[in-house]
Structure 1
């Protein structure tokens, strides 16, 4: 080595380094049968999934030739109405009254339509389980059956969104056909719908089903100009002049909880047609269809407060609301701002975990502050779903939420935090009972991780000690310093020691926190926000904490109130994806990760995938540098659910009939291309019709540009009234 080279090495100048090698998963083959169409649908019991497959079988091909038995392109099957409300046991509660879009109670939202089965070869989910959550696997939804009730597939002139006229459309009209099969198609004219008013009417008609809530006793309103605010968003849950109080006759003392679905957005968000459809779907399926069990809200951040001083007076507030939110949703929108959070949560120390441009009160690190405030403003709700506007669900929202609620309520607390910390891979883990026992043994005994070459090797210089078990979490897991304990008098206490519990405690208890990704221990991981917690005595280390990446979750009123009071009085706070789960951990609240079905885009070896996903300490997802959350999160890019998953938006857009990466589109749906080999995504022959997806959560989906018809303003078209009997 020359003197010059030696000096460069001394100062760390190693010259231009070669790029790192590609991740192993990038060499795995893409799966193609996600893109099969409705003309190849077979019953799930007869489906031979492309993945996962036994290693000794031949690779799956996309051959659709008529000469191969069982793979022929068939006629379009008949779709069926999806009725999720009848499947839920509500016998102990007062019956619901039907809700309509209009004041005259004549306009119904059409039911979703599904197809029995799946496209031939459709892969199985690699994570989570349908059976576990009580969901059917023998169904799929095409874009018309899923979105047609909300304006997809018909023109702007008739109240639709003006898209959905290209590609395979055969059989699409079934979603608008009246149940009787007679009369005009029930294509709802959404141009005059006011969703806030529709939700309020629905609640009033069904108010006897719910517990009455005392009016909010407000202190002196900090933003005094809004003290007498009378917008729809402030008052839509009030029952005026006794209206609706006796609409539902109560024959039972049991009442339903009320749930808010709070969708996060911001004032310069561009509501594209596809976003509008999703919001309509959530309100119709969760609120109107359920008889008022849910209310859907928009929580809108005002970004430029200097330019838009919304707190100045009600007129300024309303003007900016009109500029920021489509008319049909304005009544469900609530503004919030960073300055407002600074005022409410004074004295919170900012450790600037991600630099000065991302303050603790801002929408990135302090988003839960806005949810805490919202819950204080709305005591009428028992639970709050925090939802992101770029989430999509290919099934019915009420079916999803109600099954999640039922399953999480029945989960016992014994071993719960340990199960919460792991992905469930049915192909590897077997039954849920097998998985439960595995998590218990891994926790108590420790594991030799395949990610650690020194694990279990005695006598090796510098090698870590042999695996050690951990103490399972049983009740509140407090911060080390008792001075950091706050209002613990009413925290849940285990009724028996851990060893004596027979998986009884917690069964029948509604969860305070529900998440869609594992609740992992960030301590020791490479996750950038692992130490973004403030207000605690850290002289003996940071307090115990948990996190779940992707902030969408359901939180109870109790949990949000605890978070609010800790932030106000103790100045405790943590990163938005860590604060709710950490507060639940400290206070012993019931938190549950839902193992919902997640799909992967490539042919991963399933054992290897399991090792990567649960690559943390003792077989969990967190607790060590080998966690998938942090530097290894690139392994989640090919999933249907993660904050930056690349597969998710591509799958959704292909399902909508769009061409992505030069694949899919109108001709692919309609025409068989015999020049293609049928092997792989790029060589699919097509001609199977439009895609059909089983119910799955898909995230993120942003900026979907649908081809929208353009009409001249002077053009008008007579709109037929919706059929009341539809």
Structure 2
């Protein structure tokens, strides 16, 4: 009975009772009406489920109206416009208290050799815009302490490394270059920002539209308590700070993200507890100012719905919190201690970033599922043309890869059909995720990924479309990390680490890029292994979304993979631990001249310094 009828029975006015008597009565719920109501509800549900599964191959606007009638829409990004170039970089002071532009002792030494440059097994120096440098270990790491104990041969001024404060040097560099950035840069300090969720002064959820571009990137190197820092580790970290943090005029800031595994450390109980944990962690003094501590208790406080915090499953949770607490950066590189740059690290990261920025969105996913092999395709343009041909000018994902559990924040494509885009959308737009190896479709029948059934919180379960790109060394935008943070905190959505960034980026309609970084295989003329990784290439793919057979040879002989021993062997030979006076006994990508060993310009992973 309507409320108005109840009032009429108790209201003294006859006129009001006559008015209420003329009001329409609610319809009786007959069996026929009940059947009709149930049928309509089932039809609407079926349409939503159908579109949520068909979306990977449909333009996003087709199901958008249906989904947004049920789920509240979120604010979408506009189509990005290219950002104006920054002003010229100003020189900064290095660890010798001299401007780097005026300090030969801080310079890397690259030479020209008369032999041909080794052609990568995958990737391309030319297409990536990477310098073809040749350096000895001294030419590469001499400025950072390599060889300094040999007084007869070390020809640089020595540095008292314990007195170096890398946070202060980075802050001084920011002060010199502050005019180049839209906002005055926030200094790098050891002041504790991370707090438990119930004690934090930071908003629990933040979104992309709260920020304007700062044009700066955080380089976050993962570490853990008790790690024994070898001289080689220190050469590597110092070089990363100088070449990326200082020589770029502050466009990067380098941090050490330290996992405190001691469950009784009470890291966040007080400032004193935090400092004590840092001292106990064994982090060298020169790195204290750039160290940020976290532990599993912190993750549990912020992500109680996830229930799994191991690195192999949730390596990006600390990075999500980093983006929440350090929002002064547009992008965040997650690097590892067992990475090595055999050339200038800042130039390498710039090349990767520039390539990703200039890559179009169209078929970016498709290109990421194949390996660019020069001896099979030619240059990258030829490779991209082969991928385009097998996809008939179209793309599997255009806008968000729609699933019912994620409300995308990425822009609506500027044209309805990807065929009508002449590889223009996305050019000049920074990538939201840069992966460092190829991606694969989790739902493909031949996927060998051991984590393919580990997925929780998604309505479609294991049928949810996902892509994984090992290893989990990637760059993510602030917008992407904050979106993942929100989904984990509020909805408990979780997939393994290697799939987290690429999958969430695709679901949100954000830009993905796999630049053609050069990597090598330990046997130069191993055609069988080459074919095993090529797997027929783009021309023989029935879907245009990766090879039909995703199985591949063991990656132990690659210079870049999630496992492998060859990178360590290369470093040992380069450093002289396995030195040979002949080229025949040296890994082919190294060059020997006048008794010195030279390395080409590439990044390697993993390069273990312990358990060798």
Normalised to the residue count of structure 1, the TM-score between the two structures is 0.64
Aligned to 2:292: 334
The structure carrying a bigger helix percent of its residues is 2
**Aligned partner of 1:140 among 112, 130, 134:** 134
**Aligned partner of 1:638 among 557, 568, 571:** 557
Aligned to 1:596: 517
Aligned to 1:59: none
**Aligned partner of 1:368 among 289, 309, 316:** 316
CA distance in 2, matches of 1:528, 1:145: 42
Q: Is 2:372 aligned against 1:424? A: yes
Could you tell me whether the CA contact under 8 Å between 2:573 and 2:586 is conserved in 1? no
Q: Is 2:603 aligned against 1:697? A: yes
For residues 362-413 of structure 1, what are the alpha-carbon distances to aligned partners after superposition, in whole Å with 9 as ceiling and x for unaligned?
Answer: 2221111110001101011111000011000100011101111111111111
For residues 134-153 of structure 1, what are the alpha-carbon distances to aligned partners after superposition, in whole Å with 9 as ceiling and x for unaligned?
Answer: 2233x301001100000111
SS of residue matched to 1:400 = helix
Could you tell me whether the CA contact under 8 Å between 1:115 and 1:140 is conserved in 2? yes
SS of residue matched to 1:304 = coil
Could you list the runs of 5+ residues in structure 1 that have no partner in the other structure? Answer: 1-89, 156-162, 177-185, 229-253, 351-359, 446-469, 673-677, 707-726
With over 3 angstroms needed to count, the CA separation of the structure-2 counterparts of 1:527 and 1:555, relative to structure 1, is: same
Could you tell me whether the CA contact under 8 Å between 1:96 and 1:291 is conserved in 2? yes
Aligned to 2:196: 222
Aligned length: 508
With over 3 angstroms needed to count, the CA separation of the structure-2 counterparts of 1:608 and 1:265, relative to structure 1, is: closer
Aligned to 2:566: 647
Q: Is 2:550 aligned against 1:627? A: yes
* Structure 1 position 102, deviation (Å): 6.5
**Aligned partner of 1:205 among 170, 173, 176:** 176
SS of residue matched to 2:312 = coil
Aligned to 2:120: 125
For residues 490-512 of structure 1, what are the alpha-carbon distances to aligned partners after superposition, in whole Å with 9 as ceiling and x for unaligned?
Answer: 54434341111111111111111
**Aligned partner of 1:474 among 378, 398, 401:** 398
With over 3 angstroms needed to count, the CA separation of the structure-2 counterparts of 1:387 and 1:150, relative to structure 1, is: same
CA distance in 2, matches of 1:694, 1:103: 27
CA distance in 2, matches of 1:261, 1:323: 24
* Structure 1 position 192, deviation (Å): 0.9
With over 3 angstroms needed to count, the CA separation of the structure-2 counterparts of 1:430 and 1:619, relative to structure 1, is: farther
Could you list the runs of 5+ residues in structure 2 that have no partner in the other structure? Answer: 1-82, 203-211
The 5 A counterparts of 1:122-521 are 123-137=118-132, 139-155=133-149, 173=155, 176=156, 186-212=157-183, 222=196, 257-306=215-264, 308-324=265-281, 325-348=283-306, 360-444=308-392, 472-479=396-403, 482=404, 484-486=405-407, 488=408, 490-521=410-441
Aligned to 1:466: none
* Structure 1 position 211, deviation (Å): 2.2
CA distance in 2, matches of 1:537, 1:646: 41
SS of residue matched to 1:262 = strand
With over 3 angstroms needed to count, the CA separation of the structure-2 counterparts of 1:497 and 1:191, relative to structure 1, is: same
CA distance in 2, matches of 1:699, 1:641: 5
* Structure 1 position 611, deviation (Å): 4.3
CA distance in 1, matches of 2:586, 2:186: 57
CA distance in 2, matches of 1:432, 1:103: 41
Aligned to 1:448: none
**Aligned partner of 1:112 among 95, 100, 108:** 108
SS of residue matched to 1:534 = coil
Could you tell me whether the CA contact under 8 Å between 2:197 and 2:301 is conserved in 1? no
Could you tell me whether the CA contact under 8 Å between 1:513 and 1:590 is conserved in 2? yes
Could you tell me whether the CA contact under 8 Å between 1:495 and 1:505 is conserved in 2? no
With over 3 angstroms needed to count, the CA separation of the structure-2 counterparts of 1:582 and 1:189, relative to structure 1, is: same
CA distance in 1, matches of 2:327, 2:374: 40
With over 3 angstroms needed to count, the CA separation of the structure-2 counterparts of 1:255 and 1:224, relative to structure 1, is: closer
* Structure 1 position 310, deviation (Å): 1.4
Deviates more, 1:433-442 or 1:256-265: 433-442
With over 3 angstroms needed to count, the CA separation of the structure-2 counterparts of 1:440 and 1:319, relative to structure 1, is: same
For residues 468-518 of structure 1, what are the alpha-carbon distances to aligned partners after superposition, in whole Å with 9 as ceiling and x for unaligned?
Answer: xx9622221112xx2x132x2554434341111111111111111111101
With over 3 angstroms needed to count, the CA separation of the structure-2 counterparts of 1:682 and 1:104, relative to structure 1, is: closer
CA distance in 1, matches of 2:304, 2:128: 42
CA distance in 2, matches of 1:561, 1:571: 14
CA distance in 2, matches of 1:132, 1:92: 21
Could you tell me whether the CA contact under 8 Å between 2:436 and 2:515 is conserved in 1? yes
The 5 A counterparts of 1:663-702 are 664=579, 668-669=580-581, 688-702=594-608
Could you tell me whether the CA contact under 8 Å between 1:478 and 1:485 is conserved in 2? yes
**Aligned partner of 2:449 among 527, 541, 551:** 527
CA distance in 1, matches of 2:534, 2:164: 45
Aligned-CA RMSD value: 3.5
Aligned to 1:538: 460
Q: Is 2:575 aligned against 1:581? A: no
* Structure 1 position 106, deviation (Å): 6.5
Could you tell me whether the CA contact under 8 Å between 2:305 and 2:491 is conserved in 1? no
SS of residue matched to 1:573 = coil
Could you tell me whether the CA contact under 8 Å between 1:547 and 1:581 is conserved in 2? yes
